[in-house]
RNA sequence: GCGAAGGUGGCGGAACUGGUAGACGCGCUGGCCUUAGAAGCCAGUGGCCGCAAGGCCGUGGGGGUUCGAGUCCCCCCCUUCGCACCA
């Protein structure tokens, strides 16, 4: 063979690995695993879209593959699987568009993804492949649903327990079986409720809060409206505290942990009841009468210490008390405001948040701490979905309340003393604040709290409220229960039956699972909240034991299958259980999980929640599934030159004269202006290319278009079809091979960094692989033959040192996921050995082993050229000798007053005294210090000398 | 507005606990090879001044600590990401 030909090498080795099942992972008891520590490296499995693989996919997959191969060579028993997250909206949308059954499109998409992924040479154990739409898989998704449905959360023990263990109050038991069933239904972790949901008419389904961004669907950007519907929900809120606390010890990036914490949004404070003034008046006038039916207004606050500063109250426009308390004079204004608020989407409400709006209801409430009567307003700055949907407004110490109070002339009272510094800075006095002081401080104007610092004041007032029966301590979460049903066809059916007579929902026996969806011809959404499954009347209506039932016509959301797939890889063919407990004990938790940051909250939070339920019920051995999580950074498109709209307009003719084509590019951020992208077209029919260097110059640190002086901005943007900057991995593999693609993606920069793609840079890694190839292989021979320069000789000292340094660097950097610097070290090795006339086999062999996890096809082929007949996948990883990494002679810089003036070549083991003497004896140093007094000489042993003169 | 991560040559990026800034790669320049090109190989490549030796400047900006700062401290600017009326 010949010169490096990736297409040939890669095809043959992929074939070899497949036929020899090189990467089959034996189960724990197997002799092949004996004595080895386990290592579970997991990729976030892809959603096989119609568009095929994107260059972003191989980034994470290459990283995990390098680590999997590295760990195998270091003696670990490695689990490294792949599968498909194939249920869900996008597949169904695609199927509806193409008018092909989603099962067919899904299988086609999976086939494409599998082919593309296999072409990259990853060392997956393909015998463990899972597909969430496979009945053998979703049988267990449904089984887990039943388990969650069978579980209630015991706040005492802080864990999920079987519903059979839920204590039933005697009065409920007395009312009979149906009553007990209804009571239990109220506690299940999977439950049905009529709740206001995010209904998306365009998609014909409801969406989880997590799937709605800025009031639009995350997918497609369609408008979303609120409407009440019967839905399945998961009581994830019961686990909020554990999801929060267990985050702490995980080896995840701080930013992802923070995003999860924010999403859970725990805040501690108090709930306080404010009685209506009218109720109080009536009660006081009729002391003997039992006044009922007028509940107080309950608010949640994190600052109960500021209760004395509450000068008004605000209810959300949707609050149920609004209609009952509004006075006749205010009725018209209130109704009008409510209607206006209802018309606004959530998005508009927040978008137009600059000025506060609101209306007085005419009613008053009594502040329980000082019996003061304060007006009750409604305003849309108070959200119905958080806390109690009502607040006590403390304008002195809350920015929003302050703005509102200013807007409507409501009183502002200082009840926490700001620092003097703050008063001066803001130009406030204690009696006249110019803005809200929301920090902690010492309570003033607050009766029994006066003089207490915030923390103590909170404790004291909560105690007081509890004593009086008008308030209590309360923890609140932003996290909502997880809306778990979708009105779609392409998802797991719920394994339940609804009795036609309206009785409590019945669970299917786990033994009859999987419940397979009906084979619908027409799977399009109905456009109504009845899902497409309702069209399959034969499937929906069943009669068991003479009783009529109908099946649930909602399906589970896309996230269901991905909540537990990493468990199924461990035992993918098990028909008795989701996985063998012994195998789960062996492999869990996942040691390293790599994937995109877009799953920071959704998938990772849901999967953690399911895992905890499974843990509580004894099905998995650990409370957290993913010990270490790394998010790869996004790969952006190639950088392009942009100019402002004004510059384009002013220079249109000149640009055309230079052969430059300007295309308007809409800004993603509505707050930022559009730009024009500049390209050139060399010949007719050519794809426009980036501006060549001849057209660009640097003037005063700014990039400008040569001649015209227009300022250019270089920008790299997300890859997207609309921008036409998507890179297809297939094209790169055809031109340079999978090894080069792998290497390039790792060489671009740190794994976690966002980085722009640059196709021409692949030449660098391709050249490196070609050089490595020629190092070992005879380039001119017809067949694979060892290069004649490879000899069984002792390496010289220098070469040995380069080898040992390379082994050390590559080992440490691979272990730390610093693949870019590991590759740089291998490049330096090749640059060094290329210069040698005779190349010692003793340094080439370890090098090939180092290279193999990164470029496995080239690695195997070179290993074969060196005379080996088996795969190198399980060869021991090379070791390095620290003594051999050290040089005999080192270069030490000498500074005079902190500036490098000379470099000395000295023996590596030189003492400080000798080093100092050598430095002072140096001619260049003498020249710099001549005529000056040496004040001090700082010697950093074997590193540096600094001579200070004055 | 809040939170997080960043800002180093023309570009992607290196730089261990403060100790030779710019490893490695792209691009660019010159040379070799070639009928020519491609590929490959060799050399050079932060900026400014200088024939050279050498000098001065230089890690977003400004100040500070230190013999010595990309790295530590204070202030400011910018970029990206996440959250965003959460009481």
- Would you say the C-beta of A476 is within 7 Å of strand B? yes
User: Residue A375's pLDDT is what?
Assistant: 97
- Would you say the C-beta of A944 is within 7 Å of strand B? yes
User: Residue A683's pLDDT is what?
Assistant: 55
Q: Do the first three CATH levels of A729-884 and A889-949 match, i.e. the same topology? A: no
User: Residue A1's pLDDT is what?
Assistant: 46
Helix, coil or strand: residue A188: strand
State mean pLDDT over A576-584.
Answer: 97
User: Residue A648's pLDDT is what?
Assistant: 82
Token digits of residue A672: 């930022």
| Strands in A58-214 per DSSP E | 77-79, 83-84, 130-131, 151-154, 159-162, 190-200, 205-207, 212-213
pLDDT digits (tens, 9 = 90+) for A597-626: 888 888 999 999 999 999 999 999 999 999
pLDDT digits (tens, 9 = 90+) for A691-732: 766 677 666 556 677 667 777 777 888 888 888 888 999 999
Distance A942 CA to B66 C1' (A): 21
CA distance A783 to A224: 64
Which nucleotide is nearest, taking the CA of residue A394 and each C1'? B87
CA distance A336 to A334: 5
User: Residue A888's pLDDT is what?
Assistant: 84
Distance A634 CA to B5 C1' (A): 14
User: Residue A703's pLDDT is what?
Assistant: 67
CA distance A814 to A820: 9
Contact A680, A688 (CB under 8 A): yes
pLDDT digits (tens, 9 = 90+) for A146-191: 999 999 999 999 999 999 999 999 999 999 988 999 999 999 999 9
**Is residue A659 over pLDDT 80?**
no
- Would you say the C-beta of A417 is within 7 Å of strand B? no
pLDDT digits (tens, 9 = 90+) for A71-111: 999 999 999 999 999 998 888 888 888 889 999 999 999 99
**CATH node for A7-133+564-632:** 3.40.50.620
CB-facing half-sphere around the CA of A571: CA atoms within 13 A: 19
> Considering only A224-238, A498-512, A541-555, A657-671, which range has the smallest mean pLDDT?
A657-671
**CATH node for A889-949:** 3.10.20.590
Buried b (16+ CB within 10 A) or exposed e, A54-87: bbbbbbbbbbbbbbbbbbbbbebbbbbbbbbbbb
CA distance A384 to A637: 42
CB-facing half-sphere around the CA of A609: CA atoms within 13 A: 28
Q: What pairing do the DSSP bridges indicate for beta strands A696-699 and A675-680?
A: unpaired
Strand B proximity: list residues 811-830 of A with CB under 7 Å. Answer: 818, 820-821, 823-824, 827-828
State mean pLDDT over A418-439.
Answer: 86
pLDDT digits (tens, 9 = 90+) for A791-846: 899 999 889 999 999 999 999 999 999 999 999 999 999 999 998 888 999 999 99
Distance A255 CA to B82 C1' (A): 8
CA distance A530 to A536: 12
Dihedral sign for Cα A121, A39, A125, A556, please: negative
Contact A448, A460 (CB under 8 A): yes
pLDDT digits (tens, 9 = 90+) for A39-71: 999 999 999 988 899 899 999 999 999 999 999
State mean pLDDT over A545-573.
Answer: 95
Taking alpha carbons only, the member of A859, A887, A888, A890 closest to residue A875 is A859
State mean pLDDT over A297-321.
Answer: 94
User: Residue A220's pLDDT is what?
Assistant: 73
pLDDT digits (tens, 9 = 90+) for A938-948: 898 888 899 88
ipTM value for the complex = 0.95
- Would you say the C-beta of A442 is within 7 Å of strand B? no
CA distance A923 to A927: 6
Q: A823 Cβ partners below 8 Å, 6+ apart?
A: A743, A746, A747, A765, A768, A854
- Would you say the C-beta of A454 is within 7 Å of strand B? no
Which nucleotide is nearest, taking the CA of residue A936 and each C1'? B67
User: Residue A408's pLDDT is what?
Assistant: 94
| Strands in A287-389 per DSSP E | 297-301, 312-315, 359-366, 373-378
pLDDT digits (tens, 9 = 90+) for A746-779: 999 999 999 999 998 999 999 999 999 999 998 7
pLDDT digits (tens, 9 = 90+) for A357-378: 899 999 999 999 999 999 999 9
- Would you say the C-beta of A837 is within 7 Å of strand B? no
Residue A6 CB coordination number (10 Å): 24
- pLDDT above 70 coverage of chain A, percent: 95
Distance A695 CA to B30 C1' (A): 22
- The CATH class given to the A267-475 domain equals alpha beta
Taking alpha carbons only, the member of A482, A456, A502, A469 closest to residue A208 is A482
Contact A396, A402 (CB under 8 A): yes
Distance A750 CA to B69 C1' (A): 24
pLDDT digits (tens, 9 = 90+) for A377-423: 999 899 888 899 999 999 999 999 999 999 999 999 999 998 888 88
User: Residue A670's pLDDT is what?
Assistant: 64
User: Residue A435's pLDDT is what?
Assistant: 87
**Is residue A8 over pLDDT 50?**
yes
Domain ranges of chain A: 7-133+564-632, 267-475, 640-715, 729-884, 889-949
Of A539 and A208, the one with more pLDDT? A539
**Is residue A854 over pLDDT 90?**
yes
Q: What angle do CA A736, A741, A742 make, to 5 degrees?
A: 140
Strand B proximity: list residues 645-684 of A with CB under 7 Å. Answer: none
State mean pLDDT over A452-459.
Answer: 93
Which nucleotide is nearest, taking the CA of residue A947 and each C1'? B67
Distance A832 CA to B24 C1' (A): 13
- Would you say the C-beta of A381 is within 7 Å of strand B? yes
CA distance A191 to A238: 13
State mean pLDDT over A502-514.
Answer: 91
User: Residue A2's pLDDT is what?
Assistant: 63
What is chain A's mean pLDDT, rounded? 89
**Is residue A684 over pLDDT 60?**
no
**Is residue A671 over pLDDT 50?**
yes
Q: Report residue A658's pLDDT band, with 50, 70 and 90 as the boundaries.
A: confident
For the domain A729-884, what is the CATH superfamily, name and number? Isoleucyl-tRNA Synthetase; Domain 1 (1.10.730.10)
Cis peptide before A33 (omega within 30 of 0): no
Q: A29 Cβ partners below 8 Å, 6+ apart?
A: none
CA distance A780 to A838: 18
Dihedral sign for Cα A135, A137, A142, A146, please: positive
Token digits of residue A418: 């700001």
Protein-covered nucleotides of chain B (CB closer than 7 Å) are 3-5, 10-15, 19-21, 23-28, 39-42, 54-56, 67-69, 80-87
CA distance A821 to A811: 11
**Is residue A686 over pLDDT 80?**
no
Which nucleotide is nearest, taking the CA of residue A259 and each C1'? B82
């Amino acid at each position: 063979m010949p010169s490096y030909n990736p297409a040939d090498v890669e095809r043959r080795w992929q074939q070899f690995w497949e036929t020899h099942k090189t990467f089959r992972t034996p189960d724990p008891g197997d002799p092949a695993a004996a004595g080895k520590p386990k290592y579970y490296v997991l990729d976030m499995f892809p959603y096989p879209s119609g568009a095929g693989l994107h260059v972003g996919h191989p980034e994470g997959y290459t990283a995990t593959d390098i680590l999997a191969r590295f760990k195998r060579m270091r003696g670990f028993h490695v689990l490294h699987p792949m599968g498909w997250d194939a249920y869900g909206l996008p597949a169904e949308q695609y199927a509806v568009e193409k008018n092909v059954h989603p099962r067919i499109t899904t299988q086609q998409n999976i086939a494409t993804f599998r082919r593309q992924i296999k072409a990259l040479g990853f060392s997956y154990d393909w015998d463990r492949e899972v597909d969430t739409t496979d009945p053998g898989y979703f049988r267990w998704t449904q089984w887990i649903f039943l388990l969650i449905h069978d579980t209630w959360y015991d706040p005492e023990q802080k864990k999920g327990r079987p519903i059979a263990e839920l204590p039933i109050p005697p009065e409920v038991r007395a009312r009979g079986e149906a009553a007990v069933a209804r009571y239990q239904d109220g506690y299940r972790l999977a439950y049905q409720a009529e709740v206001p949901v995010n209904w998306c008419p365009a998609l014909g389904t409801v969406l989880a809060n997590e799937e709605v961004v800025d009031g639009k669907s995350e997918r497609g950007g369609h408008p979303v409206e609120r409407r009440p519907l019967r839905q399945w929900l998961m009581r994830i809120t019961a686990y909020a505290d554990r999801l929060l606390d267990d985050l702490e010890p995980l080896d995840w990036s701080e930013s992802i942990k923070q995003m999860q914490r924010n999403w859970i949004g725990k805040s501690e404070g108090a709930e306080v009841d404010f009685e209506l003034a009218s109720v109080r008046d009536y009660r006081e006038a009729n002391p003997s009468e039992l006044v009922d039916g007028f509940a107080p207004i309950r608010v949640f606050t994190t600052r109960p210490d500021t209760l004395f500063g509450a000068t008004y109250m605000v209810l959300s426009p949707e609050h149920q008390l609004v209609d009952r308390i509004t006075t006749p004079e205010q009725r018209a204004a209130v109704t009008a405001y409510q209607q206006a608020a209802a018309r606004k989407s959530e998005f508009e409400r927040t978008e137009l948040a600059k000025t506060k709006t609101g209306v007085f209801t005419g009613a008053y409430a009594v502040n329980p701490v000082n019996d003061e009567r304060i007006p009750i307003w409604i305003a849309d700055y108070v959200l119905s979905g958080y806390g109690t949907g009502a607040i006590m407004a403390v304008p002195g110490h809350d920015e929003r309340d302050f703005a509102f109070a200013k807007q409507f002339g409501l009183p502002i009272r200082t009840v926490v003393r700001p620092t003097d510094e703050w008063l001066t800075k803001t130009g406030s006095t204690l009696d006249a604040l110019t803005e809200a002081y929301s920090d902690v401080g010492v309570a003033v104007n607050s009766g029994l709290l006066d003089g207490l610092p915030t923390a103590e004041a909170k404790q004291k007032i909560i105690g007081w409220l509890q004593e009086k029966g008008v308030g209590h301590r309360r923890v609140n979460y932003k996290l909502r229960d997880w809306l778990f049903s979708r009105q779609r066809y392409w998802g797991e059916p719920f394994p339940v039956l609804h009795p036609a007579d309206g009785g409590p929902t019945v669970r299917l026996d786990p033994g009859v699972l999987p419940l397979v969806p009906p084979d619908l011809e027409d799977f399009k959404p109905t456009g109504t909240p009845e899902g497409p499954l309702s069209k399959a009347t034969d499937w929906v209506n069943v009669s068991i034991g003479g009783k009529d039932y109908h099946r649930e016509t909602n399906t589970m959301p896309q996230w269901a299958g991905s909540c537990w797939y990493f468990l199924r890889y461990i035992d993918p063919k098990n028909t008795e259980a989701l996985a063998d407990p012994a195998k789960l004990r062996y492999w869990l938790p996942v040691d390293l999980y790599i994937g995109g940051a877009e799953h920071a909250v959704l998938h990772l939070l849901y999967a953690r929640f399911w895992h905890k339920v499974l843990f509580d019920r004894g099905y998995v051995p650990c409370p957290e599934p993913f010990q270490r999580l790394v998010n790869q950074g996004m790969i952006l498109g190639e950088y392009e030159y942009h100019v402002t709209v004004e510059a384009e307009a002013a220079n249109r003719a000149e640009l055309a004269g230079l052969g430059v084509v300007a295309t308007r590019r809409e800004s993603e951020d509505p707050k930022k202006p559009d730009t024009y992208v500049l390209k050139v077209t060399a010949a007719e029919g050519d794809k426009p290319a980036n501006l060549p260097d001849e057209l660009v110059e640097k003037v005063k640190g700014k990039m400008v278009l040569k001649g015209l002086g227009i300022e250019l901005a270089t920008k790299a943007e997300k890859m997207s079809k609309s921008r036409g900057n998507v890179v297809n991995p297939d094209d790169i593999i055809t031109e340079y091979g999978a090894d080069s693609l792998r290497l390039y993606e790792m060489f671009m920069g740190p794994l976690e960094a966002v980085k722009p793609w640059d196709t021409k840079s692949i030449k660098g890694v391709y050249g490196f692989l070609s050089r490595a190839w020629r190092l070992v292989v005879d380039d001119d021979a017809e067949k694979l033959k060892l290069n004649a320069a490879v000899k069984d000789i002792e390496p010289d000292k220098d070469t040995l040192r380069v080898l040992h340094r390379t082994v050390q660097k590559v080992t440490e950097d691979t272990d730390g996921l610093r693949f870019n610097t590991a590759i740089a070290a291998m490049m330096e090795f090749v640059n060094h050995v290329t210069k040698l006339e005779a190349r010692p086999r003793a340094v080439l062999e370890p090098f090939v082993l180092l290279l193999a996890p990164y470029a496995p096809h080239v690695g195997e082929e070179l290993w074969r050229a060196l005379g080996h007949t088996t795969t190198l996948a399980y060869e021991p990883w090379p070791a390095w000798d620290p003594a051999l990494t050290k040089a005999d002679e080192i270069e030490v810089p000498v500074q005079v007053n902190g500036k490098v003036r000379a470099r000395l070549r000295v023996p590596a083991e030189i003492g400080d005294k000798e080093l100092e003497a050598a430095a002072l004896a140096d001619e260049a140093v003498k020249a710099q210090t001549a005529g000056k007094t040496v004040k001090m000489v700082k010697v950093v042993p074997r590193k540096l000398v600094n001579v200070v003169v004055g």
